[in-house]
């Protein structure tokens, strides 16, 4: 068995091509999980994923699941659901109104899962990126309560999706649809989905080789930052996209 590389706080993360094949994509371990380390990781196509009590584990799987935004699919049933939500007006869409609460909701126990990778350290690190205007959340509210949300990191014109939660059927799916439509209007080209799931594949996400992923994200991250404040009003409210957009 190949020994797992240990990274000290003052050492750079290694080349993703050094990642193990068993478990697939595990690259190295360490203790540093601050905002600066996260930015380094994203630029190299690496992300953290570990359980409470473990050291920070860094991953770069091959292949990598991504959604090219020009391949996005909105199936008929969800299109009809979106039209209904727009018509009824019971669900409100918001941007960056309660980033920490979204992360905390994503960290709540889920059926079939033992623990969570969204530790207090992870929440603190991503909130640090949020304070810098680099991490964002989209939230769905009903009667003053948050019923769904998602969060991720935007660097240049590249979005790295992290996690989502829902307390109502289809609410997080519609939040994702709203995110995709907003990113398209801002000139984004791709969302990093990290790992293959049937849910993401239903939207058109697919796997690409890690080497291609790392090559593709560089030019996107080097583009000028998007104007997230243009996606909402002064209080963070967003409009639901048109079903036919």
- Which of 5-9, 86-90, 109-113, 122-126 comes out lowest in average pLDDT? 109-113
Please tell me the class of the 65-238 domain.
Answer: alpha beta
Average pLDDT, the chain: 94
pLDDT of 113 strictly over 70: no
Q: Which candidate, 138, 162, 159, places its Cα nearest to that of 237? A: 138
Q: According to the model, what pLDDT value does residue 226 have?
A: 84
Give the pair of three-digit tokens for residue 163. Answer: 């996690």
The model's pTM: 0.95
Phi and psi of 24, rounded to 5°?
A: -60, 120
Rounded Cα distance between 37 and 10, Å, is 10
Q: According to the model, what pLDDT value does residue 117 have?
A: 82
Rounded Cα distance between 9 and 34, Å, is 10
pLDDT tens for residues 16-25? 999 999 999 9
Q: Which candidate, 191, 178, 210, places its Cα nearest to that of 91? A: 178
Q: According to the model, what pLDDT value does residue 190 have?
A: 97
pLDDT of 116 strictly over 80: no
**What would the mean pLDDT of 213-230 be, rounded to a whole number?**
93
pLDDT tens for residues 28-78? 999 999 999 999 999 999 999 998 889 999 999 999 999 999 999 999 999
Rounded Cα distance between 107 and 105, Å, is 5
The domain made up of 5-62 has a fold known as: Alpha-Beta Plaits (3.30.70)
For the chain, the C-alpha Rg in angstroms (whole number) is: 18
Rounded Cα distance between 86 and 128, Å, is 33
**Per-residue three-class SS string for the chain:** CCCCEEECCCCCCCCHHHCCECCECEEEEECCCCHHHHHHHHHCCCEECCCCCCCEEEECCCCEEEEEHHHCCCCHHHHHHHHHHHHHCCEEEEECCCHHHHHHHHCCCCCCCCCCCCCHHHHHHHHHHHHCCCEEEEEEEECCEEEEEEEEEEECCEEEEEEEEECCCCHHHHHHHHHHHHHHHCCCCEEEEECCCHHHHCCCCEEECHHHHHHHHHHHHCCCCCCHHHHCCCCCEECCCCCCC
| pLDDT band (50, 70, 90) for residue 216 | very high
Q: Which candidate, 105, 169, 189, places its Cα nearest to that of 139? A: 105
pLDDT of 189 strictly over 70: yes
> At a CB cut-off of 8 Å and minimum separation 6, what does 121 contact?
33, 56
pLDDT of 227 strictly over 90: no
**What would the mean pLDDT of 80-92 be, rounded to a whole number?**
96
pLDDT tens for residues 138-170? 999 999 999 999 999 999 999 999 999 999 999
Q: What percent of the chain has pLDDT over 70?
A: 96
How far, in whole angstroms, is CA 6 from its chain's centroid? 26
**Domain residue spans of the chain:** 5-62, 65-238
């Amino acid at each position: 068995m190949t020994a797992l590389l240990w990274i000290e706080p003052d050492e750079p993360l290694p080349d993703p091509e050094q990642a193990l094949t068993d478990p697939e994509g595990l690259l190295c371990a360490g203790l540093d999980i601050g905002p600066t380390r996260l930015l380094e990781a994203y630029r190299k196509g690496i992300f953290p994923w570990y359980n409470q009590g473990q050291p920070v584990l860094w991953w770069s799987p091959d292949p990598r699941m991504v959604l090219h935004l020009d391949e996005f699919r909105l199936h008929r049933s969800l299109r009809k659901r979106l039209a209904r939500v727009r018509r009824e007006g019971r669900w409100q869409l918001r941007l960056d109104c309660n980033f920490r609460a979204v992360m905390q909701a994503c960290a709540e126990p889920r059926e079939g899962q033992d623990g969570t990778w969204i530790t207090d350290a992870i929440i603190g690190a991503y909130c640090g990126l949020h304070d810098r205007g680099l991490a964002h959340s989209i939230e769905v509210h009903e009667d003053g309560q948050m019923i769904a949300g998602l969060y991720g990191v935007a660097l240049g014109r590249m979005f790295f999706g992290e996690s989502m939660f829902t307390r109502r059927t289809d609410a997080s799916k519609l939040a994702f649809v709203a995110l995709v439509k907003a990113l398209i209007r801002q000139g984004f080209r791709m969302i990093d989905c990290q790992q293959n799931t049937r849910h993401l594949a239903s939207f058109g996400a697919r796997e690409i080789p890690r080497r291609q992923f790392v090559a593709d994200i560089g030019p996107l991250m080097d583009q000028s930052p998007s104007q997230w404040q243009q996606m909402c009003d002064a209080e963070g409210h967003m409009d639901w996209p048109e079903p036919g957009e």
